[in-house]
């Protein structure tokens, strides 16, 4: 046993071996040693190899080199071990908006052999308590600006014994302890299969699930999608909106830039106008955000064309062909779409700029395999809609959760998405399996209708669901947010219905259509279609 974990909670709660997916390590770069700490690879290596003076993390008013980040992370690791009693394997909750101290804390935990449990900044005490329970979290590092809900949670959860606040100048704050701590720390020699992250699913419904990821999983995602699809260089400047608590953000805004020795800009607030300003100020070259954010930003093409931006990555939700086209038209940049999940840790189907196909997510990322299966788990021929199944170097391991049997079947990960593969091997997203609408015997994918509606210039955003209907089984219903200055009403409704009928198969048009002010979304930007089923 090469595990460095003295606290064996994670290992004790892994899904049984026969419920885990099959893992593939065919690529030569995916041969991992028995001892591996991802922080040694992503951070220490650069300093050791003489790149300590290179720019690493930036934020308004902050510029840290690789050596600066290592200094902070080492001090935090020492505080965790010597002042807070951390032993390898303990879970440490992180709570902060995207900022440099959050990144330093993440590396401090990983270096000390702890397990990072990053949480969404907007979570309230109730949700934090559920996470503390599920992960049996003993330690927490929290941004002072977000202490209120944290304190409420801690007061009711005695298992969480050790908490410190940062971005806070008091004598009891993390920074005060860091000043007294040594800047030297020997990164703990964890096993490549020691858990280092608990990733909570953004879950549109139900009780949250914790996914478990190893040190080798972190390295695997750095070695697959970025190297084979994104092709970043050490001179790139990464930026984006997803929180580091969302693995899309953790990879795109922290792990991937550091892996190649590039720099990253962490923004506490990253709405479209704030992103635009930061792209200009910091000279961002690689952008990670969600389709809706690209859609809004595409109105600022003139300004964007004058920036250094060169690569734009969309994930989290299906990228409508109309949004891809609008972005290309506005900025001249072909977007890179990719589907990932918290369970798989990061993106597993994607494409580079040269292989973009409107309406398709792409092909399996090297290192991964994907296929389409029917309800019984049998492979279906190209062109048939079915369930997406994937496997690769990363995969689903829920912490002590029966839902493991649902996500992993016959060694494959079932993401819950309906897809079809075309004859060229490109995967085309249809809907979440629950969002396929069956109306008068026709299968209708909600995103298909949404994309058609969004082609209309009056439409800012929209969402489509199936509502029960006694004649047709289900009826296609659209919720439309109009652009400023557009008038809602029966005329507009008729216009939009006719517009859809003229652009896709007429049976898909929304027979019901409501105008709304905004659409319900999760903190990761995903549309919550289930909320539209509830009476207003």
Q: Is 28 helix (H, G, I), strand (E, B) or coil?
A: helix
Q: Does the footprint of ligand 3UK cover residue 239 (CB under 6 A)?
A: no
- Which of 70, 241, 285, 342: binder of ligand 3UK (CB under 6 A)? 342
- Which of 44, 194, 236, 337: binder of ligand 3UK (CB under 6 A)? 337
- Which of 64, 294, 368, 429: binder of ligand 3UK (CB under 6 A)? 429
Query: Measured on CA atoms in the order 269, 270, 274, 275, is the torsion positive or negative?
Result: positive
- Which of 201, 264, 285, 307: binder of ligand 3UK (CB under 6 A)? 201
Q: Is 338 helix (H, G, I), strand (E, B) or coil?
A: strand
Smallest distance, ligand 3UK to C-beta of residue 235, A: 24
Q: How many residues bind ligand 3UK, per CB under 6 A? A: 24
Could you give the maximum distance between any two Cα atoms of the chain, in Å? 73
Task: Report which secondary-structure segment, H or E, holds 63.
Answer: strand 62-65
Of 387 and 508, nearer to ligand 3UK (C-beta) is 387
Q: Does the footprint of ligand 3UK cover residue 339 (CB under 6 A)?
A: yes
Structure tokens at 218: 């972190």
Structure tokens at 206: 């139900």
Q: Does the footprint of ligand 3UK cover residue 208 (CB under 6 A)?
A: no
The total of other beta-carbon atoms located within 10 Å of residue 503's CB is: 15
- Which of 264, 435, 524, 527: binder of ligand 3UK (CB under 6 A)? 524
- Which of 318, 365, 459, 478: binder of ligand 3UK (CB under 6 A)? 318
First to last CA, the chain: 56
Contact 459, 496 (CB under 8 A): yes
Structure tokens at 317: 């939700």
CA distance linking residue 410 with residue 432, whole number of Å: 21
- Which of 338, 359, 364, 392: binder of ligand 3UK (CB under 6 A)? 338
Q: Does the footprint of ligand 3UK cover residue 347 (CB under 6 A)?
A: yes
Smallest distance, ligand 3UK to C-beta of residue 75, A: 30
Q: Does the footprint of ligand 3UK cover residue 99 (CB under 6 A)?
A: no
Which residues, 6 or more positions from 356, have their beta carbon under 8 angstroms from its beta carbon?
324, 334, 335, 336, 337, 362
Q: Does the footprint of ligand 3UK cover residue 316 (CB under 6 A)?
A: yes
What value, to the nearest 5°, has the Cα angle with vertex 480 and ends 442 and 436? 25
Of 157 and 209, nearer to ligand 3UK (C-beta) is 209
Interface of this chain with ligand 3UK, residues 63 to 82, rule: CB under 6 A: none
Residue numbers at the binding site for ligand 3UK (CB under 6 A) = 201-202, 247-248, 315-319, 337-342, 346-347, 361, 415-417, 429, 432, 524
């Amino acid at each position: 046993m090469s595990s460095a974990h003295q606290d064996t909670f994670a290992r004790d709660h892994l899904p049984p071996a026969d419920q885990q997916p099959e893992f593939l390590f065919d690529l030569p770069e995916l041969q991992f040693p028995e001892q591996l700490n991802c922080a040694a690879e992503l951070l220490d290596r650069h300093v050791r190899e003489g790149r300590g003076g290179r720019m690493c993390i930036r934020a308004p008013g902050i510029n840290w080199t690789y050596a600066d980040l290592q200094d902070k992370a080492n001090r935090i690791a020492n505080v965790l071990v010597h002042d807070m009693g951390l032993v390898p394997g303990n879970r440490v909750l992180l709570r902060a908006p995207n900022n440099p101290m959050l990144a330093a804390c993440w590396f401090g935990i990983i270096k000390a052999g702890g397990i990072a449990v990053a949480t969404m900044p907007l979570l309230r005490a109730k949700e934090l308590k559920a996470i503390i329970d599920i992960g049996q979290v003993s330690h927490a590092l929290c941004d002072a600006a977000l202490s209120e809900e944290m304190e409420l949670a801690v007061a009711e959860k005695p298992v969480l014994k050790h908490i410190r606040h940062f971005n806070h100048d008091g004598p009891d704050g993390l920074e005060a302890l860091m000043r007294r701590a040594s800047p030297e720390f020997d990164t703990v020699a964890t096993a490549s299969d020691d858990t280092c992250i608990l990733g909570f699913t953004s879950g549109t419904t139900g009780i949250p699930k914790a996914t478990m990821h190893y040190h080798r999983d972190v390295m695997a995602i750095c070695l697959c999608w970025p190297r084979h699809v994104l092709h970043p260089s050490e001179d790139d400047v990464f930026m984006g909106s997803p929180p580091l608590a969302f693995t899309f953000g953790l990879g795109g805004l922290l792990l991937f830039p550091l892996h190649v020795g590039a720099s990253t800009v962490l923004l506490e607030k990253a709405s479209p106008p704030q992103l635009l300003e930061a792209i200009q100020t910091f000279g961002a070259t690689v952008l990670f955000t969600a389709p809706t954010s690209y859609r809004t930003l595409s109105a600022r093409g003139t300004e964007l064309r004058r920036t250094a931006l060169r690569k734009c990555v969309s994930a989290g939700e299906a990228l409508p062909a109309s949004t891809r086209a609008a972005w290309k038209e506005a900025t001249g940049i072909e977007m890179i779409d990719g589907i990932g999940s918290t369970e798989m840790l990061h993106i597993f189907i994607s494409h580079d700029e040269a292989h973009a196909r409107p309406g398709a997510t792409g092909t399996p990322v090297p290192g991964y395999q994907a296929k389409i299966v029917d309800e019984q788990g049998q492979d279906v021929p190209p062109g048939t809609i079915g369930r997406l199944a994937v496997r690769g170097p990363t995969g689903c391991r829920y912490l002590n959760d029966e839902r493991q049997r649902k996500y992993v079947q016959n060694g494959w990960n079932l993401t819950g998405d309906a897809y079809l593969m075309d004859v060229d091997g490109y995967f085309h997203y249809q809907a979440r399996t629950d969002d396929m609408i069956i109306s008068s015997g026709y299968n209708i994918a909600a995103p298909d209708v949404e994309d058609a509606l969004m082609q209309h210039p009056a439409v800012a955003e929209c969402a489509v669901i199936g509502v029960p209907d006694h004649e047709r089984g289900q009826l296609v219903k659209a919720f439309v947010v109009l652009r400023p200055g557009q008038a809602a009403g029966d005329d507009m409704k008729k216009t939009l219905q006719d517009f859809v009928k003229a652009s896709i198969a007429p049976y898909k048009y929304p027979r019901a259509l409501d105008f709304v002010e905004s659409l319900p979304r999760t903190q990761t930007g995903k549309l919550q279609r289930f909320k539209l089923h509830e009476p207003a």
